[in-house]
Amino acid sequence: MTHFHSYQEIISIESEAWRAFECQPVASGRGGKKRDAKRDKVTAITNRFFDAMMSDNPPKTKEDAVTMLTPVLGLLLSIFFKQLAVSVIEWLWDRTKESRA
């Protein structure tokens, strides 16, 4: 297993992803069901991304990450959310590579 990020870093990056994809929790607690569902999807994608990155055979490129993760997520998500998955995976790739540079 390859060390990638600490648990705290992963949680911080997940929170950044929520903001980037406009689904962060709102202070009033009135985010709405669509926002909550989108946040659940972003969280699921983030979890799969970090599982893959910490595996024995992590993706080497952004394209590999999308190819590796999208089929699994595609089974769980509609076409719209499959597009979201690709966007989130690409965002996570760029964000994590930026923090390691």
Highest mean pLDDT among 3-7, 73-77, 92-96: 92-96
**First-to-final CA distance of the chain:** 20
Which pLDDT score, from 0 to 100, does residue 74 have?
A: 54
Rounded to the nearest angstrom, the gap between the alpha carbon of residue 7 and the centroid of all alpha carbons in its chain is 14
pLDDT band at 1 (very low <50, low <70, confident <90, very high): very low
- Sign of torsion over alpha carbons 33, 82, 98, 2: positive
pTM of the model: 0.81
pLDDT band at 83 (very low <50, low <70, confident <90, very high): confident
